[in-house]
Amino acid sequence: MILKKLAANVNCGPDLQMALRACSRYSFAMRAKDILLEVAEALPPNATLADAISELEFRQAVEDGLASLDKGNRIPLEEARGRISEWTAKYSSPPKR
């Protein structure tokens, strides 16, 4: 739910918004193989291996962040807003060659 609200309210690119929406439906009890298959199915036909790796890295970062929140590790909202451009740059789709 939080990620859906973030995807709807954060001024970021469509790739990040799509990824945030996908992660909001993401079940953290999924096995690695199931996650790999889900990512593969969601990728467009012309996706590269770099696209798949980028998506997997993003999902892992979201999972790590949510686990950190569960442990009580939080940052102030303004600091999070300041980090959004860093996160979007890091987890945006790689440039096409």
68 vs 90 pLDDT, higher one: 68
pTM of the predicted model as reported, rounded to 2 decimal places = 0.56
Return the domain boundaries, the chain: 2-91
Residue 38 has pLDDT above 80, yes or no: yes
Query: Which residues 6+ apart lie within 8 Å of 42 measured at CB?
Result: 22, 55
DSSP states along 71-91: TT----HHHHHHHHHHHHHHH
Residue 64 has pLDDT above 80, yes or no: yes
Helix (H, G, I), strand (E, B) or coil at 49: helix
